[in-house]
Structure 1
Amino acid sequence: MLSALLLEANRIVSTESLVDAIWGDDPPPTARAQIQTCVSALRTNLAAIGEESQLVTQEPGYLIKVSGDQLDATLFTSLRKKAYSLADEGGIEEAAALTRRADELWRGPALSGTKSHKLQSMAAQLDEHRLINLETHIDLELQLGRHAKIIPELSALVSKYPLREGLRGQLMLALYRSGRQAEALEVFRSGRVILVEQLGIEPGDDLRRLESAILAGDRGLHLPGGTARAPAPAPAAVSGAPEPFETAVPFQLPPDIADFTGRAQLVDTAESLLLAGGEGRPTPVAVLAGPSGVGKSTLAVHVGHRLMRQFPDGQLYCDLGGIQPSPTAALDVLGRFLRALGIPGSQIPETVDERAEMYRNLLASKRMLIVLDNASEVQQVRRLLPGTGNSSVLVTGRSRMTGLPGARFLYVDVLDLDESIEMLAAVVGKERVADEPDAAAELVRMVGQLPLALRIIAARLAARPNWSLVWMLDRLSDERRRLDELAHGELVIRSSLALTYDGLTEDGRRLLRLLSVLEGGRIPTWAAAALLDTDLFRADDLLESLVDAQMLEIVGTGTSGGPRYKLHSLVQLFAREELERPREADETEPALTRLVGGWLALAEEAHRRLYGGDFTVLHGDAPRWHLSDVHVDRLLRDPLAWLEAERVNLCQAVDLAAETGQAEACWDLAVTLVTIFESRCYFDEWQQTHQRALHAAGKAGLVRGSAAVMCSVGSLYLSRSQLSAARQALQPALESFTLLQDTHGLALARRNLALLAQRQGDSHTALGLYRQAVADFRAVADHVGQTNALAHLARLALDEGRLDDAEGLLDEALEICRSTGSRRTEGQVRLVLSDLMQRRGRYQEAEDLLRDVLDLVRSRGDIAGESRILHRLGMVNARLGRISVAQSLLHDVVGIRERIMDRVGAAEARLELAQLEAEHTAQLARFELNLGCSSG
């Protein structure tokens, strides 16, 4: 953790960022508690060396204070900047000395021994900057005519980094200037062998030009007076270079492909456009447009990786889903980008305009590359543009985006014949292509020289080494007679995909068709089983067959360790066309009913395992699709973690249910998901899913479903302290449940209305509603709801000074918790019990209770609950005379409540902090006064 803090020295590091740095995508439930423990231990160690004040809590996390000469990385950066400035002014000698000093700060690889993937990535960037500094230093030494002196060091570096062409070129130049032309050429030849054998690529243009110049004895390689003249410093070594590596930056680009082929002119043009920005200039926007399957996305990702060094503050990437029926909305993209930039979910604004404003503010001083893939229209992109020219935007789409301000359009056509053959050889193997050159040329013509179509055919050949290229031609001949007239239209893609599709089994084709209905997301294996109504193992076999056929790709693993799958967008379109063909029986409706039923069954079971039963939530009678108990146990080992991991898919399942007329399942799933929305403060998802569910239920005339959703919306507004809106949602829900004589619904609505009345200071109304809710919950055996209402009644009794009544209510609530085994609800009751202990003056007992509950709350990631407990702990410690501890706890409370947008709660904590500080000051003054009097 210290490494993560020091990499962001003098900057606030959020708790979420620390969790991500230490545990990555799989943090333990106690991650936040462990972070606090580590912070405490660090402070103890810092105190031992007199540096206790260096690590401070500051919303939304922690800040470590370090002076410029305390951290090698900071000093390294400073020396590099000074060196660049001196080099610009002609101070080559002084600049060389500074770059040497910067290198001498290193004692080995950065962050050696760390196991964190994020820190390893940061370490790799730091190591990269060390190498850039070394290359800069060598350039400066070459300008000073010290070519002979640096040959030993350069030789060692080239041996250590054989793929680094910059170092190899510098060694060639130093050898040539030292009169060792043959050795310089041998360095080139050995480097070429390494590149070809290890990566399958030729040396870059710069290295090849240098070889030609050495062969020709080019006098331009020499300095005046017979010594060599060094080439201009590399872009990363001049004064206009981007700032050195900054930590905690997003690198969202998908992986670059190893066999990227051709496009040299397009790559150069795109890079020139994207690097044309800067302070006071318009935002550079390059648009890659062309037909489907031409490789626009691959080209954009490749350019992004090449420019990684020139955009040191990171790269943002989003697939906007342009060819899908429902493209990704700017609101959602901005939310994802803001999270990637370190903004906690609870601080992200609700409206698209506010999000866009925050996004532009964050990017104003950064140099970032934003890649917007598969854009469908100008309006989709416009809100995602930065406000300054420091950052650049690369857009891909089928249209030219002519209405996008300042955009430069680059047309991406099919590959030429030579590039197509080179791409085929990269996938199939050079020897196979060389053995059948005519067949290879004809084959790439037959697939239209379109990269996606070519890659599919090449993948089939690579998977079947016994097939000849001529045999592949024979298989394609009938299909391609109809496609010769369409050189690079969508029919090329469709026909290429049809060849693979026809080679699938009937079940494989059926699964592909059904998968095409799913929008985005990461498809788990069980979802395929639900679509086909088969077992997991059969579904897994079929999914793998689609992967082998290049119709499906693996995009990671789920919480149970199983793979996740995703359809390429063009494959998805093709499969949808196949799905829409007339068939004897409609396979879509029952399959989607099973899929939604599967999500509903799992979400329901996750809630049941968290609460000990179907408590505090209403359910409908929509059909469920059930996995075996063994597989359910494996998926839901940690129910809250599963809900978190599947949050996007679950929200999409709500949308799918609404779109396919499954209104009953739609509202049921939406209200069940409040378990995760409430615990993790996912207010956007809470509101969006409930809007869809309310519309679906209303359209279908489901009065009970509409009331259940409105009751849940009321809870959302209560969580956001929007009391007027809460009443507008809850009152109609109460009326509907009354009309339906739905006792459980009445209990939930009355409980929420009672809480609203309590918040508004109407204790009398709250008391009556809570008592009715307790009776209703008891009648339907909702033990958690009953316990919750009893705890609120106890709170009212405490507020009115009826301590014995409060104790009796809490005893009753605790007895229910023990009988049902509901630890989650028991924690809520113990929270109120701790308040009772305080009122009775038993502060140590209160603290012990709170510490127990805090561990429970942190283990399930309940942020709002954590703030309530820390608040009480602060007040208990104040009563025990531990003022500094109390102040620290209340500072944490303020930070948490600001993150979850609880302005009222944050203000309460600030007020109590101010009172504590005033009391502390008064105590000190009294002490000094008494001391003065006694000494006088």
Structure 2
Amino acid sequence: MSVHSITGDRCFRILGTIEVDAGWQRLRVPPGRQQIILGALLLDANRVVGMDQLIDAVWDERPPATARSQIQICVSALRQSLAGPGEAPIVTIAPGYLIRVADNELDLHVFERNLAKADVAQQEGRLAEAVQLLRAALALWRGDALGGGVGSRQLTACAVRLNEQRMTALENCVDLELRLGRHHDLIAELTGLVEEHPLRERLRGQLMLALYRSGRQADALGAYRAGRDVLVDELGLEPSEELQALESAILAGERQVTPTNEPVGPPAGQIVQPRQLPADTADFTGRREPVADLVGWIGGDQGAVPVVVITGMPGVGKSALAVHISHHVADRFPDGQLYVDLRGSQPQPADPVDVLCRFLRALGVPGSAVPEELEERAEMYRSVMADRRVLVVLEDAAAEAQVLPLLPGGPGCAVVVTSRFRLAGLPGARLCEVEVMDQEQSLELLGKVIGRDRIEAEPGVAEALVGTVGGLPLALRVVSARLVARPHWSLAAMMGLLADERHRLDELSHGEIMVRASLALTYEGLSKRSRRLLRLLSLVEAETFLGWIAAALLDEQPARGAHLMESLVDAQMLNVAGVDVAGYPRFKFHDLVRVFARERLTESESRQECQDAVERLVGGWLALAREAHRRLYGGDYTVLHGNGLRWDADPSYVSAALKEPLQWLESEQACLCSAVRQAAATEFDEACWDLAVTAVTLFETRGYFDDWQETHEVALNAVRKAGNSRGVAAVMCSLGSMHLSRRRLAQAELMLEPALELFDELADVHGRALVTRSLGILAYIEGRPVAAAELYDRAQHGFQLAGDRIGEAYVLGRFAQLDIGRTRYDQAIERLRQALEICRETGNTRLEGQLLYRVGRVFLLQGNYEQAEQMLMTVLDMVHATGDVLGESFTLHSLGTVHLHMQELDKAEPILRHALSLRERLRDQFGASRVRLDLAALLTQRGEVREATGLVQEALRVFQSRRLPAWEDKARTALADLSGLSDYPHQGVSPGGIQSLPSGQ
């Protein structure tokens, strides 16, 4: 026999005060919140404990607005306290935290394992061994569990439950020792226990029996009379029938007197074996992995009652899976299967008191013998089930409190629970999240019901059909039933009925099967505020969304909004779709839930309420995007802003999410574009154009030119419709900059000239400076350096008046570019030095990288190739760190030409090819063609004339389409050189034949 004991590098104790031992050292856990949080985590050790559960444990129902951040601070402090060798014991896993506890490191786990082994030993008749195991389990206790609950209502309830387990184990141990004849040894212990717990009749009966068997009949009767006096005085009750019967037996001097806790069961010879499982689904489809997992779990050696909780959104097939696995394992439970619908999603869920009565009668207990109170019924239920092997299936549970009284105590039983809520509070439960079906499973189910021939006749329509209902099994059942009832219908006809989102739920009903009704049951069970949040969330156009959006839509404290969002996840009306860059959860709707929520939205919210909610939503994105720009640029530089509403998210989220601003912008790219479209659709023109031009911080750096153009065209239509002149000018200025980046010079001019006129009319100094700078770049590209210098000078003056330091630094860099073209390298370096000082003062690393790139070009043109290489490698590290793909492509191009000049062709070629692939990925055909010219020069030196000719011809085609005569001349000259080499493939050209160098745009 092996007795489990608490061992390990780090030992956790909650069977008494909450303590942690590490080696010979006892780690101090400060009382209050840290002890509560540690206790809550240890109660569910090795399972995720949600943030909301921890908040409830600390503050019950009235948490402060800063509850989440306070929990995070406490967890951080606990991590530091528990730090030691190996992995950190507390890890963050959405939606909360998990504490890792190895075997035998937690006294509660050791206690439960010893109890389970004692049960097995008792059933096999090894009573002395069972007693030894029970005494080892009881020796782990040092007082009330969890220190009595350390002031937490939630932990206090858990402590009460654990203390009751301890007393039950103690009473069971005493019973076994009485059966082993150890009555003399027990008298002193039982006397103290009865004095400590005078109302526990089982203990008193055990004391009476120990005294009587020790020849102390008078003392045994005295113990009875003392107990009767206590019961009458304190409760006005007579002792139980069992205790009175024991007194009578002692008075009569009977030789065989038994304990008072004999289990109540059916009469001898009338063992009842209930078979209450509903029929299995004949065409059950898919779910192979969860079926195998759950069947294995139920049949495994858990050492306690295996409990399976199957959860998922309405209509996902929880009941079908539960019944299916129950039939799979039914033969392992020869004493029967109990089944009940707990109606957790109904207005009036089933009362455990009534369910226990049904179960006891089904197990053979006469109705007259069933007690009245919940606790007494639960005790009888556990007693009847103690030596049986019964499977209990609890359908549609509302909460843990509804399930706990229905859990049997005997390890030979098992429990399967389904719920629309995550019942994380059930001890030791195996949670199974049922997902919607994928396309393959959906088509398989549809084919089983309507026939494979109809699927094969319209395969494309069948795929679209299952996609329209999002793989929801209930919806697929409805579609299948309607198609079976109408064999003359095509799948296309059914698809046509579902095409209109406004009437989709109307079509997803057949007889008593209705998707809307299934969703409505869960919806009506939500709190009033959760229902409103669900409705307002349907306004969000993005596929996924973050927790702060809840607070924005409801216009309330961030912590409260996040709590309500989690309540929708718990109710399976929202799904968690991963996490954002800061580790915060992302959420998403199932398509049919979104349709349902929009239906309820139109019924319950006014148009103005919806408008206000969308304005706050867009304002939240605007505030975050603006802050991301500020952190990247060191302030509101080189960007214009409007006066649309801004809604500020929780500062703790902003701080965490924008730690890496560009990374956050990229992760929210789809949401930002969606917000621009939504702002335009709801006629918030100021927020629309502001968000569009602010998002250029991302679009430009990552080369997202399609998003840049699409969002700006949407914004331009919105501001023109609203008659918003400044918005029109700002968007046209930004579009002009985009066309310049893509070398669409004519389109750029069409945008920039009208924008300048509007800014002049508005006397907008900052806007005029931005558009003048872009016109200067246009002049430079067109080969008009004098005009470019004049425009740069006007732009610099404007930036100075507007206080735009980065704008000023940018123009200095452009002036340096002109100096480089005139070979005034010292003057260029001085301008670049001034610009770099501004960048370092403001913390703008992106522009700093661009300026250092130009310094590298100066070294290259001066023939200082080693210095050029060193500087460009520094810039390459910078653009890699910021994820600036466009900057990386320019830097690689220049680095490749440096190696080409140094005749290091093996180094130059892969670098230039990489630069070309980046330019093509960014769809920058002009930039790509410039790289092609230099790559062609390299290939020519190697004698690879054919590939070189193809590259130059492709470059010439692009330059001609863009009407860039200077670059056309370069390409034609290169072609002429290659033509002369066509008969002499091994002749090369010198590095001086290279026709292009990056301009550093």
Q: Calculate the TM-score normalised by the size of structure 2.
A: 0.47
Give the secondary-structure state (helix, strand or coil) at the position aligned to 2:736.
helix
Give the secondary-structure state (helix, strand or coil) at the position aligned to 1:625.
coil
Give the secondary-structure state (helix, strand or coil) at the position aligned to 2:461.
strand
1:412–1:732 distance in 2 versus 1, CA, 3 Å: closer
Give the aligned partner of residue 651 of structure 2: 629
1:869-896 per-residue CA deviation (whole Å, 9 max, x = no partner) reads 1111112122333222122222222222
Query: Given the alignment, which residue of 817, 839, 851 partners 1:795?
Result: 817
Alignment of 1:594-605 (within 5 A): 594-605=616-627
Distance (whole Å) between structure 2 residues aligned to residue 873 and residue 270 of structure 1: 63
1:302–1:796 distance in 2 versus 1, CA, 3 Å: farther
Distance (whole Å) between structure 1 residues aligned to residue 985 and residue 463 of structure 2: 68
Q: Does residue 286 in structure 1 map to residue 461 in structure 2?
A: yes
Distance (whole Å) between structure 1 residues aligned to residue 442 and residue 857 of structure 2: 69
1:326-371 per-residue CA deviation (whole Å, 9 max, x = no partner) reads xxxxxxxxxxxxxxxxxxxxxxxxxxxxxxxxxxxxxxxxxxxxxx
1:266-313 per-residue CA deviation (whole Å, 9 max, x = no partner) reads 24867556668xxxxxx95233798999x673369999xxxxxxxxxx
Distance (whole Å) between structure 1 residues aligned to residue 730 and residue 831 of structure 2: 28
1:716–1:926 distance in 2 versus 1, CA, 3 Å: closer
Q: Does residue 711 in structure 1 map to residue 892 in structure 2?
A: no
Aligned length: 518
Q: CA RMSD in A?
A: 4.3
Letter in 2 for 1:287: A
Alignment of 1:834-853 (within 5 A): 834-853=856-875
1:286–1:573 distance in 2 versus 1, CA, 3 Å: closer
Distance (whole Å) between structure 2 residues aligned to residue 824 and residue 285 of structure 1: 48
Letter in 2 for 1:795: Q
Q: Does residue 589 in structure 1 map to residue 585 in structure 2?
A: no
Query: Given the alignment, which residue of 500, 513, 526 partners 1:504?
Result: 526
1:299–1:717 distance in 2 versus 1, CA, 3 Å: farther
Give the aligned partner of residue 726 of structure 1: 748
Give the aligned partner of residue 693 of structure 1: 715
1:210-238 per-residue CA deviation (whole Å, 9 max, x = no partner) reads xxxxxxxxxxxxxxxxxxxxxxxxxxxxx
Q: CA deviation at 1:258?
A: 13
Q: CA deviation at 1:856?
A: 0.9
Letter in 1 for 2:462: V
Q: Does residue 561 in structure 1 map to residue 583 in structure 2?
A: yes
Q: CA deviation at 1:506?
A: 2.0
Query: Given the alignment, which residue of 766, 770, 789 partners 2:788?
Result: 766
Distance (whole Å) between structure 2 residues aligned to residue 254 and residue 725 of structure 1: 49
Letter in 2 for 1:256: M
Distance (whole Å) between structure 1 residues aligned to residue 327 and residue 662 of structure 2: 47
Contact 2:542–2:670 (Cα < 8 Å) also in 1: no
1:715-774 per-residue CA deviation (whole Å, 9 max, x = no partner) reads 221222211111111111111111111111111101111111211212122111111111
Query: Given the alignment, which residue of 702, 707, 719 partners 2:724?
Result: 702
Give the secondary-structure state (helix, strand or coil) at the position aligned to 2:616.
helix
Distance (whole Å) between structure 1 residues aligned to residue 613 and residue 695 of structure 2: 22
Q: Percent identity?
A: 43
Give the aligned partner of residue 534 of structure 1: 556
1:226-255 per-residue CA deviation (whole Å, 9 max, x = no partner) reads xxxxxxxxxxxxxxxxxxxxxxxxxxx986
Q: Does residue 513 in structure 1 map to residue 535 in structure 2?
A: yes
Letter in 1 for 2:471: S
1:545–1:830 distance in 2 versus 1, CA, 3 Å: same
Contact 1:795–1:832 (Cα < 8 Å) also in 2: yes
Query: Given the alignment, which residue of 692, 697, 705 partners 1:670?
Result: 692
Distance (whole Å) between structure 2 residues aligned to residue 873 and residue 764 of structure 1: 29
Letter in 1 for 2:472: T
Contact 1:291–1:488 (Cα < 8 Å) also in 2: no
Alignment of 1:264-663 (within 5 A): 266-267=447-448, 284-287=459-462, 297-298=471-472, 409=492, 488=510, 492-581=514-603, 586-663=608-685
Give the secondary-structure state (helix, strand or coil) at the position aligned to 1:580.
helix
Contact 1:292–1:570 (Cα < 8 Å) also in 2: no
Q: CA deviation at 1:516?
A: 1.7
Give the secondary-structure state (helix, strand or coil) at the position aligned to 1:637.
coil
Contact 1:777–1:783 (Cα < 8 Å) also in 2: yes
Distance (whole Å) between structure 2 residues aligned to residue 852 and residue 486 of structure 1: 61
Distance (whole Å) between structure 1 residues aligned to residue 745 and residue 623 of structure 2: 33
Contact 1:266–1:410 (Cα < 8 Å) also in 2: no
1:254–1:632 distance in 2 versus 1, CA, 3 Å: same
Q: CA deviation at 1:840?
A: 2.5
Q: CA deviation at 1:908?
A: 2.0
Distance (whole Å) between structure 1 residues aligned to residue 512 and residue 834 of structure 2: 69
Give the secondary-structure state (helix, strand or coil) at the position aligned to 1:881.
coil
Q: CA deviation at 1:265?
A: 6.6
Distance (whole Å) between structure 2 residues aligned to residue 535 and residue 271 of structure 1: 53
Letter in 1 for 2:817: R
Q: CA deviation at 1:924?
A: 12
Distance (whole Å) between structure 1 residues aligned to residue 679 and residue 601 of structure 2: 18
Distance (whole Å) between structure 2 residues aligned to residue 825 and residue 262 of structure 1: 53
1:562–1:408 distance in 2 versus 1, CA, 3 Å: same
Contact 1:730–1:749 (Cα < 8 Å) also in 2: yes
Give the aligned partner of residue 757 of structure 2: 735
Whose relative contact order is higher, 1 or 2, with alpha carbons under 8 Å and at least 6 apart? 1
1:495–1:700 distance in 2 versus 1, CA, 3 Å: same
Contact 1:288–1:296 (Cα < 8 Å) also in 2: no
Q: CA deviation at 1:782?
A: 1.4
Asked which structure has the greater CA Rg, the reply is: 2
1:273–1:867 distance in 2 versus 1, CA, 3 Å: farther
Q: CA deviation at 1:548?
A: 2.8
Distance (whole Å) between structure 2 residues aligned to residue 553 and residue 813 of structure 1: 49
Unaligned stretches of 5+ residues in structure 2: 1-288, 293-320, 330-433, 498-503, 944-980, 989-1001
Give the secondary-structure state (helix, strand or coil) at the position aligned to 1:565.
strand
Contact 2:869–2:895 (Cα < 8 Å) also in 1: yes
Distance (whole Å) between structure 1 residues aligned to residue 783 and residue 696 of structure 2: 26
Q: Does residue 748 in structure 1 map to residue 922 in structure 2?
A: no
Q: Calculate the TM-score normalised by the size of structure 1.
A: 0.50
1:770–1:887 distance in 2 versus 1, CA, 3 Å: same
1:845-883 per-residue CA deviation (whole Å, 9 max, x = no partner) reads 111111011111122222221111111111212233322
Q: CA deviation at 1:784?
A: 1.6
Q: CA deviation at 1:926?
A: 9.4
Q: CA deviation at 1:527?
A: 0.4
1:491–1:515 distance in 2 versus 1, CA, 3 Å: farther
Give the secondary-structure state (helix, strand or coil) at the position aligned to 2:540.
coil
Contact 1:710–1:733 (Cα < 8 Å) also in 2: yes
Distance (whole Å) between structure 2 residues aligned to residue 523 and residue 489 of structure 1: 36
Contact 1:254–1:301 (Cα < 8 Å) also in 2: no
Distance (whole Å) between structure 2 residues aligned to residue 626 and residue 487 of structure 1: 43
Distance (whole Å) between structure 1 residues aligned to residue 541 and residue 790 of structure 2: 47
Contact 1:292–1:490 (Cα < 8 Å) also in 2: no
1:70-106 per-residue CA deviation (whole Å, 9 max, x = no partner) reads xxxxxxxxxxxxxxxxxxxxxxxxxxxxxxxxxxxxx
1:582–1:633 distance in 2 versus 1, CA, 3 Å: closer
